[in-house]
Structure 1
């Protein structure tokens, strides 16, 4: 997630409440043992290049990435692109706040918005 969570709250109070209430997807996911939520400092330029996902597949299958751009999404197991995306992930992770700090930031924004 980018930081600040949003520069200003959504104008619609219903949307604002739904976005951060208990059971909202982002907040609920933090309770799962295999998922962590970390907010990334807004100065993190590699994080501005677009969304991506890295899938570590079973049975020794090659890792696969999904990369979004403004024009289209791309799914590939091409080793060079997978390595490039892994490197971008590590660069972003260096800018991320620890999970406990990120979750505290979310709670603070919830108090302000709701």
Structure 2
């Protein structure tokens, strides 16, 4: 494909990005095929847009090439699931928001999850189908496009230290996730702070939440529930109470530079010896 040519289809656009990522990693088609346990010819066919990539191939290629959803977003015919009624309002709120402040005591916030980390979480859901898991993953990746806007979302994140220590998916997946957090934290619109374990009890132990603000929209909150459903609300009293809870947790958080150092230290513990 020449510089002036544009991909004619999602499959060709996918293939072009795969080739760029492979070249950047200094891998031949044969070498990438060996890593992905597939043939050199299959890699070539996908790069030329002659073969549709599968979700399994895509996730493996992303891990091998150090991508974080770039290929998955281009996966042809990826179905975005219809969200549950209680949650359906929140993706629209994320799209309109200028700033979101969030707290997570158990897992990495969805907007910062890598595909493999999210896939492991969805696989842990009881009684769901493979199709549901695939559609849930596609929906999560699509929501992360708020960081590709011309005016990207300002995202202020508080996470409990236990999130870093829980080896979701094993050491390879969690190390990739922590490295992704470090990369995202380098962006001027994203702040990640860790609340240390030795704080003990905090106002955030009851569950995660997010507060969204934007010009021309009412402030909204999203409250997680360990049971079946959560809550999305724009009620002033609820927003006020959640904002107070965020402030109460924030006062215990490590400064940004200390949080980043802790992320690097924990990521290092998952490296192969």
TM range (shorter): 0.7 to 0.9
1:37 to 192, 195, 211: 192
The alignment status of 1:28 with 2:183, answered yes or no, reads yes
Number of residue equivalences: 109
Larger Rg: 2
The alignment status of 1:94 with 2:259, answered yes or no, reads no
Q: Distance in 1 between matches of 2:192 and 2:254?
A: 9
More displaced 10-residue stretch of structure 1: 8-17 or 89-98: 8-17
Note the C-alpha offset of 1:11: 7.3
The alignment status of 1:107 with 2:261, answered yes or no, reads no
The alignment status of 1:13 with 2:132, answered yes or no, reads no
State the superposition RMSD in angstroms.
Answer: 1.8
**Secondary structure, aligned partner of 1:37:** strand
Which residues of structure 2 form unaligned runs of 5+?
1-158
Matching residue of 2:206: 49
**Secondary structure, aligned partner of 1:65:** strand
Q: Distance in 2 between matches of 1:77 and 1:65?
A: 6
2:223 to 49, 67, 91: 67
CA contact (8 A) 1:57 1:64 kept: no
CA contact (8 A) 2:182 2:264 kept: no
Greater helix fraction, Structure 1 or Structure 2: 2
Q: Which structure would you say has the larger RCO, counting Cα contacts within 8 Å and 6 or more residues apart?
A: 1
User: What TM-score comes out, normalization by structure 2 length?
Assistant: 0.37
User: What TM-score comes out, normalization by structure 1 length?
Assistant: 0.83
Which residues of structure 1 form unaligned runs of 5+?
none
